[in-house]
Amino acid sequence: MTRPVRRLVHAYLRRLGPEREQRARRRLRRLRTPAYVGTVRRTAPVSRGFGADRGSPVDRYYIERFLAERRAAITGRVLEVKDAGYTRRFGSGVTRADVLDVDRSNEQATIVGDLQALDEVADDVFDCFVLTQTLLFVYDLEAAVGHAHRILKPGGTLLATVPVVSRVMTTPGKLDDYWRFTQASCERLFGGRFGDLEVVSYGNVLASTAFLRGLAAEELRRRDLDVVDPDYATLLGVAARK
């Protein structure tokens, strides 16, 4: 695209409004760098941002499916990490939505604290804890899962998701990316505390490699995304009842 044409396209996109502009920009990126051209031999990903600049990240497709299928548990007093987006989207009968973050600059946090040492939160407080894509950043997993269990009411539900496969995501001085998970590690980690435990695999070799390469979910067929091959899973969902 020549510079004047690019300028015209950008001016046009800006007039669409934020939501339509983002959708149009993502579609344009997919058209300009199609994933199927030489994807397998590329040593660099097509996107370094989980494909979010091209559409919806592949792991979000699975996270949202996991939560949608367990939406009945997202009720009463609910705790979520970073923001209450999934509580609002999937919850019903929510009496109070709290947000936990270790990051003091997060203005949405109603509880600023470290899940590994969350002594400021009393026992048996929450009906549901939505803990998506966070445990990879927590070094002491035993302590974190111990607190997640402790702050849930008896009968309360932990809905956690963890990556099996993902690019490494470290923000120096802020977040360190420590772990990837397997069915076996989740069964030991959560099974030690929670009696009632379900660990669900999502994804397959196509979804996992596409996610690593930075393709968006929109670039895969839904029927391919929905194939489950636990040996090559992309993501695990953990539903655990106290």
Q: Which stretch binds ligand SAM (CB under 6 A): 69-77, 131-139, 188-196, 197-205?
A: 131-139
User: In what side-by-side order are the strands of the sheet with 152-163?
Assistant: 111-112, 94-101, 76-81, 126-132, 152-163, 235-241, 196-202
Which range touches ligand SAM (CB under 6 A), out of 1-9, 110-118, 188-196, 233-241?
110-118
Which part of the chain contacts ligand SAM (CB under 6 A), choosing from 66-74, 109-117, 149-157, 181-189?
109-117
Q: Which of 62, 38, 103 is nearest to 236 (CA)?
A: 62
Q: Give, as ranges, the residues between 62 and 91 that touch ligand SAM (CB under 6 A).
A: 81-82
Minimum gap (Å) between residue 77 Cβ and ligand SAM: 17
Number of residues binding to ligand SAM, judged by CB under 6 A: 15
- Whose Cβ is closer to ligand SAM: residue 134's or residue 157's? 134
Round to whole Å and give the CA distance between 205 and 184. Answer: 19
- Cβ distance to ligand SAM smaller for residue 215 or 235: 235
In eight-state DSSP terms, residue 111 is E
Q: Please choose, out of 34-42, 129-137, 194-202, 211-219, the segment that lies near ligand SAM by the rule CB under 6 A.
A: 129-137
Q: Report d(CA 135, CA 101) in Å as an integer.
A: 12
Asked if 115 is part of the footprint of ligand SAM (rule: CB under 6 A), the reply reads: yes
Alpha-carbon distances of 99 from 15, 69, 121, 153, 194, rounded to whole Å? 35, 22, 12, 17, 22
Cβ of residue 129: shortest distance to ligand SAM, in angstroms? 12
For 10, other C-beta atoms within 10 Å of its C-beta total 12
Q: Determine the distance from the C-alpha atom of residue 186 to the mean position of all C-alpha atoms in its chain, rounded to a whole number.
A: 16
Kindly state the smallest distance separating residue 114's Cβ from ligand SAM, in Å: 4
Helix runs in 43-140, H state only: 58-69, 85-90
From the list 62, 129, 137, 194, which residue makes contact with ligand SAM (rule: CB under 6 A)? Answer: 137
For ligand SAM, the closer of residues 101 and 219 by Cβ is 101
Max Cα–Cα distance, the chain, nearest Å: 63
C-beta of 233: minimal distance to ligand SAM in Å?
Answer: 18
Give the range of 1-9, 114-122, 222-230, 234-242 binding ligand SAM by CB under 6 A.
114-122
Considering only CA atoms, which of 219, 138, 202 is closest in space to residue 164? 202
**Residue closest to 165 by CA, chosen among 5, 50, 68, 21:** 50
Q: Binding residues for ligand SAM, per CB under 6 A?
A: 81-82, 100-103, 114-116, 132-134, 137-138, 175
